[in-house]
Amino acid sequence: MSTESTQSKACCDTPAVVTKGYQPKGDYITVDGLKTYATGPKDAKKGILVVYDIFGFFPQTLQGADILAYTDKDSQYQVFIPDFFEGEPADISWYPPDNEEKGKKLGEFFKAKAAPPKTLPRIPKIVEELKKSKGVETWGMVGYCWGGKIVNLSSMEGTPFKAAASCHPAMVAGDDAPGVTIPFAMLPSKDESKEDVEKWQQGIKVPHLVEWFPDQVHGWMAARGDLEDEKVKKEYERGYKIVLDFFHKHM
């Protein structure tokens, strides 16, 4: 069982979600040579590093960053999304990979762009640079899909982060859990393996929360979220509220 209540706390208001034509509140800066979306109050001392899904800077993901930055009036954040794929994300038409061609393209993308060893070493450098340039003192981390794996692997001993959240995570592995050293929230969708998530949950030794979204698809809080669907919009809002409540408590 999770060591956290799954009841949503009162600290964070339900975010106002725009269903279509979202206009991001932030701007783009360069961090460790990467184009990076930056949002939130520039005097905030707490920061959140967001690791997007394989589809990059989608409107739903940018809106999510703005929600994380501004919704908790008692604890606002500077939020940053580095472009780890350097302008060449996966094409969303490849997903789901329901034929050989899509599967091949996704496989090639993961090898060329999304292998975790390519991304993981950059994260401490990015955090250190942002500490100096933006004055952020305390850090959390959020990842979607592929980014959820990166967040898990970045939460081990020596991590610069105080809390982490993984939304509809890809490649969930029980072996990753025992090494996690910071409070960790996981929000699986109906497409995640119940067995894999349970193994992960059995292995984690720190305060954690696992909240299932059994009627949502893999990606609903990021690029694959159809926010014009009222049910998806409601669960998108609820997902961000859970993450913010968790960070409010642990950061």
Q: CATH number of the domain that 204 lies in?
A: 3.40.50.1820
Confidence (pLDDT) at 7: 44
Looking at the domain assignment, is residue 166 inside a domain? yes
Looking at the domain assignment, is residue 223 inside a domain? yes
Residues in the chain, overall count = 251
Q: Is the four-CA dihedral 27, 29, 34, 39 of positive or negative sign? A: negative
* Residue range of the domain that includes 111: 27-250
pLDDT at 3 over 60: no
Residue 115 structure tokens: 């292998």
Q: What percent of the chain has pLDDT over 70?
A: 95
pTM of the model: 0.93
Looking at the domain assignment, is residue 76 inside a domain? yes
Confidence (pLDDT) at 13: 74
- What mean pLDDT is reported for the chain? 93
Which pLDDT band, with edges at 50, 70 and 90, does 96 fall under?
Answer: confident
Looking at the domain assignment, is residue 13 inside a domain? no
Confidence (pLDDT) at 14: 66
Per-residue pLDDT of 151-173, as tens digits, reads 999 999 999 999 999 999 999 99
Number of folded domains in the chain? 1
Per-residue pLDDT of 230-246, as tens digits, reads 999 999 999 999 999 99
Looking at the domain assignment, is residue 20 inside a domain? no
For strands 78-82 and 34-39, give the pairing.
Answer: antiparallel
pLDDT at 2 over 70: no
Looking at the domain assignment, is residue 2 inside a domain? no
Confidence (pLDDT) at 16: 77
Confidence (pLDDT) at 232: 97
**Cα(32)–Cα(37) distance, integer angstroms:** 13
**Cα(57)–Cα(72) distance, integer angstroms:** 23
Per-residue pLDDT of 178-214, as tens digits, reads 999 999 999 999 999 999 999 999 999 999 999 999 9
Confidence (pLDDT) at 1: 40
Confidence (pLDDT) at 9: 46
pLDDT at 44 over 50: yes
Q: What are phi and psi of 229, to 5 degrees?
A: -85, 120
Give the position of tokens 């994300």: 89
